Amino acid sequence: MRTLWRFIAGFFKWTWRVLNFVREMVLNLFFIFLVLVGVGIWMQIGNGSNSEQTARGALLLDISGVIVDKPSTNHRLGALGRQLFGASSDRLQENSLFDIVNAIRQAKDDRNITGIVLDLKNFTGADQPSMRYIGKALREFRDSGKPIFAVGENYSQGQYYLASFANKIWLSPQGQVDLHGFATNGLYYKTLLDKLKVSTHVFRVGTYKSAVEPFIRDDMSPAAREADSRWIGELWQNYLHTVSANRQISPQQLFPGAQAIIDGLTSVGGDTAKYALDHKLVDALASSADVEKALTKQFGWSKTENNYRAISYYDYSLKTPADTGGTIAVIFANGAIMDGEETPGNVGGDTTASQIRDARLDPKVKAIVLRVNSPGGSVNASEVIRAELAAAKAAGKPVVVSMGGMAASGGYWISTPANYIVASPSTLTGSIGIFGVINTVENSLSSIGVHSDGVSTSPLADISMTKALSPEVQQMMQLSIEYGYKRFITLVADARKRTPEQIDKIAQGHVWTGEDAKANGLVDSLGDFDDAVRSFPPPTRFRRRSFPPPTR
């Protein structure tokens, strides 16, 4: 018996030693983890601690990922996570439009920045108003007398748009400029839903409110095709006119049409680089070694970097604007509008309303810019934001809406209280309409021998995906949608000083470009964020402050 107890006691002692060893090892690993994080953050901050280079050279605009109004994560912390822990980079890196523009403008006046190099191979896209705004800053930089060079093995349409603002564009001898036009495509599920015996109940107001069409059609309706053809054609023409003007060629020479491009490629044996050079899309064909030699001659050689002298955009720190005695609060509504708190990539109705309220109650805030880049979303969340913006306006604080790439449906709803609305010519806005879709699967279940039954105190209480919607529920839903639409056009009519009947004619869910919206009286002027800020009554020299503060 003693031997048994001795064995049990020894086993527990051994187990305790093992557990204690594991505990100490975990604590040590956690400590090492914290040290690595601290060192990594220090190195990341150190990389961008100087707003000016110690030696004269270029600002390397090496944008990686997409450009958005408001990034959902800090780009340096995201990079740190990938470096230290191998975090997934499947989610595209997001870059702040305003940080990029501010960096270009700061570099224009930075005595140690003598030019810009556009290396856009990892740039994956932005909406057209964002690229117009960056292009404006690049043009200002170039007009100051400092050169811009674009380098690339290939250029996508978005990359080439920005590259067209350069003094000189280099292309690899094996590269191409991929110009093909714009397209919009969607999937339609009616036949699939019919085969699955899914019942689709659609409630909507608006001839052009096409978001429900995938559930009830196998193709685009004529109305949707007409509306989409209009705005996509206008965006393409805007693209062609901007780029052709930058390259000092005609839009026809830039994009002569599919067959003409094929004929041109045939004449050069399919050599896409030679085609680009012959048609003045680029200025020179050069290998990476030749480009490096030319940039070294322009900017000098850095022994420490073993490359031409340049500082990456990601290492170029931005200066904090001086406090001029007042603040313009810049509040972002970037993404789909959802109920509740903000999540990455979405607008939280409660979060945004709280930010507007903070700006309204802050005595230092003299005016508010609501930057809208949203396709819409929840009606309730949109109304929460709109009501708070109306309260700020009623409190005597001027409110201006700056529309980005899109301010449609709920994005336009939240814009209605503004004193002034500024849209880019290529903003997509309007879509004044409301819809709802409910799918039920009672027939699907019945086909495999599953049935639903029960009792309720009212037809309105018995709502389930497993049962057909009662006529009473369908009537209630349609009445709710129709009321929401009337409310929407009334808000717009009051804000734009029109009658509901006048607004109804340009509403109906129709998507308009900024140019068409201006012609229809839905916005006050065409321009960019700078124009929105300048639209405030004097004094206009306020310090801009984001609510919440930016992450860069």
Is the pLDDT at 44 greater than 60, yes or no? no
The catalytically annotated residue of 108, 209, 397, 518 is: 209
Is the pLDDT at 488 greater than 80, yes or no? yes
pLDDT band at 462 (very low <50, low <70, confident <90, very high): confident
The one-letter code for the residue type at 344 is P
Residue 250: phi, psi to the nearest 5? -85, 155
Q: What is the pLDDT of residue 32?
A: 65
What are the residues facing 401 on neighbouring strands? Answer: 370, 421
Percent of the chain with pLDDT over 90: 75
Percent of the chain with pLDDT over 70: 83
pLDDT band at 162 (very low <50, low <70, confident <90, very high): very high
Nearest to 490 by CA among 477, 503, 478: 503
Per the annotation, the verdict on 409 as an active-site residue is yes
Q: Concatenate the DSSP letters of all residues of 50-95 into one string.
A: -SS-SS-EEEEE---EEEESS-SS-HHHHHHHHHHH-----SPPEE
Superfamily of 188-219+434-451+460-491 according to CATH: peptide peptidase (sppa) like domain (3.40.1750.10)
Nearest to 137 by CA among 109, 176, 179: 109
460 or 429: which leads in pLDDT? 429
Q: What is the pLDDT of residue 18?
A: 60
Q: What is the pLDDT of residue 351?
A: 97
C-alpha separations of 408 from 53, 60, 373, 512 in Å: 42, 35, 8, 9
What is the mean predicted confidence (pLDDT) over 310-335? 85
Q: What is the pLDDT of residue 512?
A: 97
What is the mean predicted confidence (pLDDT) over 296-308? 93
Tell me the pLDDT tens digit for each residue of 378-436.
999 999 999 999 999 999 999 999 999 999 999 999 999 999 999 999 999 999 999 88
The residue to which tokens 């709920």 are assigned: 410
The catalytically annotated residue of 172, 210, 244, 409 is: 409
CATH number for the domain formed by residue range(s) 57-71+91-179+222-315: 3.90.226.10
* List of E strands, 199-326: 199-205, 284-285, 301-302, 307-308, 310-312
Is the pLDDT at 28 greater than 90, yes or no? no
Q: In sequence order, which residues have a C-beta less than 8 Å from that of residue 540 and are 6 or more positions away?
A: 533, 534
Same fold, 188-219+434-451+460-491 and 321-433+507-538: no
Q: What is the pLDDT of residue 304?
A: 86
Looking from the CA of 453 toward its CB, the CA atoms found within 13 Å total 3
Residue 308: phi, psi to the nearest 5? -65, 155
Give the C-alpha separation, 283 to 240, whole Å: 18
CB neighbours of residue 262 within 10 Å: 11
Which CATH fold topology does 321-433+507-538 show?
2-enoyl-CoA Hydratase; Chain A, domain 1 (3.90.226)
Tell me the pLDDT tens digit for each residue of 193-208.
999 999 999 998 878 7
Q: What is the pLDDT of residue 435?
A: 87
How are beta strands 346-348 and 365-374 bridged, if at all?
A: unpaired
Give the C-alpha separation, 338 to 376, whole Å: 9
Q: What is the pLDDT of residue 75?
A: 47
**In what helix (H) or strand (E) does residue 359 lie, and over which residues does it extend?**
helix 349-361
Helix, strand, or coil (residue 293): helix
Per the annotation, the verdict on 88 as an active-site residue is no
CB neighbours of residue 453 within 10 Å: 6
pTM: 0.86
Mean pLDDT taken over the chain: 88
Q: What is the pLDDT of residue 85?
A: 38
Domain borders along the chain are 57-71+91-179+222-315, 188-219+434-451+460-491, 321-433+507-538
pLDDT band at 11 (very low <50, low <70, confident <90, very high): low
Q: What is the pLDDT of residue 83?
A: 43
Q: In sequence order, which residues have a C-beta less than 8 Å from that of residue 485 and are 6 or more positions away?
A: 205, 206, 433, 434, 507
Burial of residue 63 (number of CB atoms within 10 Å: 0-12, 13-18, 19+): buried
131 or 13: which leads in pLDDT? 131
Is the pLDDT at 259 greater than 70, yes or no? yes
How are beta strands 428-430 and 511-513 bridged, if at all?
A: antiparallel
Tell me the pLDDT tens digit for each residue of 512-541.
999 999 999 999 999 999 999 999 876 545
Q: Are 174 and 152 in contact (CB under 8 A)?
A: no
Tell me the pLDDT tens digit for each residue of 142-154.
999 999 999 999 9
280 Rama class: left (phi>0) / alpha (psi -120 to 50) / beta: left
Is the pLDDT at 46 greater than 50, yes or no? no
Return the structure tokens found at 23: 């505990």
- Residues present in the chain in total: 552
Q: Considering only 114-123, 202-211, 280-289, 543-552, which range has the smallest mean pLDDT?
A: 543-552
Helix, strand, or coil (residue 291): helix
Is the pLDDT at 5 greater than 60, yes or no? no
Tell me the pLDDT tens digit for each residue of 337-378.
999 999 988 999 999 999 999 999 999 999 999 999 999 999
pLDDT band at 329 (very low <50, low <70, confident <90, very high): very high
What is the mean predicted confidence (pLDDT) over 493-504? 96
DSSP 112: T
What is the mean predicted confidence (pLDDT) over 79-95? 53
Is the pLDDT at 19 greater than 50, yes or no? yes
Is the pLDDT at 327 greater than 60, yes or no? yes
464 or 170: which leads in pLDDT? 170
Q: What is the pLDDT of residue 88?
A: 41
